[in-house]
Amino acid sequence: MQKKLINWTDKYSVGYDEIDNQHKKIVEMINNLYASFIQSKADEVIESILTEMVKYTNYHFKTEEKYFDKYNYSDTKLHKEQHHGFVVKVTKFRDDLKNGSLTTTYDTMNFLRDWLLTHIQDSDKKYVTEFKNNNINIV
Ligand SMILES: [Fe+2]
Ligand SMILES: [Fe+2]
């Protein structure tokens, strides 16, 4: 069984240090969550890591959105909706875990991994490309 759910490689890098460092931290949190999951840690443990993960991810989203507003990013609306949708979904999952109506599965882990990596490579790289084309350097 693989130890890490996500192995960070340069292909996930968007080229802005502040954003890359935040993405790496989210990856680390998802890997911690995965480690707890494969060690069959109690739901309470998973739930608290998940809560921290959502909190930090939300902070990261706010960072990106601050730049969208500042530089009038053309796809702001859709990108903010994607962020919001993720937070709503993961928060609901965390609540279901808390009230015992759901348990963590490989599907949950794969969803977190796939969502994050797809979002970075498609949506985040899109705003970075637009910013770079307009000579905007956010860091
Ligand atoms: Fe984003
Ligand atoms: Fe991001």
Q: Sketch out the chain's domains with CATH numbers.
A: 16-133 (1.20.120.50)
pLDDT tens by residue, 106-137: 999 999 999 999 999 999 999 999 999 999 98
Ion ligand 2 neighbours, Cβ < 5 Å? 124
pLDDT for residue 19 is more than 70: yes
**Lookup: tokens for 70:** 């500042």
The confidence band for 2, taking pLDDT boundaries of 50, 70 and 90, is confident
pLDDT tens by residue, 31-70: 999 999 999 998 899 999 999 999 999 999 999 999 999 9
Contacts of 10 (CB under 8 A, 6+ apart): none
- pTM, two decimal places: 0.95
CA of 124 to the centre of ligand 2 (A): 6
CA of 24 to the centre of ligand 2 (A): 10
Integer angstrom CA distances of residue 64 from 39, 49, 91, 106: 34, 23, 20, 29
